[in-house]
């Protein structure tokens, strides 16, 4: 970096270029990268990432509260994500806690049905929970990908979206 002071225009130009690069990396390049990945490895990677403590947990020294009921984890975007409830407490529902505990969790969710097609829960598919009615849906049934779900703060299923729009 030059030792002479920079003008406002130079600083803005630098900022604009960096912002454009970040936006491009988060929108276009992520799809290309995702296409190169093995779906099984992607799910495993997401589960490993989701098992890490959040910045909130690290700063506040709070431990995540384990909650095994899918309907009670209303802030969750997908199986295996960690989210905060309205009171600031952290809820966690890890998808792959351990390889030997995987079969137990599969049995636990066997009664979970898709709110759209009525299909049974399958750990190999992406699911998303509605934050309003707490129903679970196949991502493909409601046209939500794991990447898109990451950017959604509060997911409303199609039925709740229709209900909210009525007077």
Q: How many CB atoms lie within 10 A of CB 120?
A: 11
pLDDT digits (tens, 9 = 90+) for 21-32: 888 877 777 777
Write the burial class of residue 86 (CB in 10 Å: 0-12 exposed, 13-18 middle, 19+ buried).
exposed
pLDDT of 104 strictly over 60: no
Question: Per residue in 116-155, pLDDT tens?
Answer: 888 888 888 999 999 989 899 999 999 999 999 999 999 9
Q: What is the pLDDT of residues 46-65, one digit of tens each?
A: 778 888 888 777 777 766 55
Instruction: Say if CB 105 and CB 93 are below 8 A apart.
Output: no
Strand (E) or helix (H) holding 136: strand 136-138
d(C-alpha 166, C-alpha 144), whole Å: 23
């Amino acid at each position: 970096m030059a030792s002479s002071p920079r003008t406002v225009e130079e600083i803005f130009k630098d900022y604009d270029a960096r912002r454009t690069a970040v936006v491009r990396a988060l929108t276009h390049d992520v799809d290309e990268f995702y296409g190169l990945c093995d779906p099984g490895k992607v799910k495993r990677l997401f589960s490993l990432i989701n098992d890490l403590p959040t910045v909130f947990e690290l700063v506040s020294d709070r431990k995540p509260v384990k909650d095994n009921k899918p309907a009670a984890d209303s802030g969750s975007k997908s199986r295996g994500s960690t989210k905060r409830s309205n009171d600031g407490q952290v809820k966690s529902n890890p998808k792959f806690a351990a390889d030997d505990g995987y079969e137990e969790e599969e049995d636990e969710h066997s009664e979970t049905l898709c709110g759209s097609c009525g299909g049974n829960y399958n750990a190999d598919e992406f699911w998303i929970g509605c934050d309003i009615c707490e129903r679970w849906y196949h991502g493909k049934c409601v046209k939500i990908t794991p990447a898109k779900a990451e950017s959604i703060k509060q997911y409303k299923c199609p039925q709740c979206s229709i209900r909210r729009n009525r007077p």
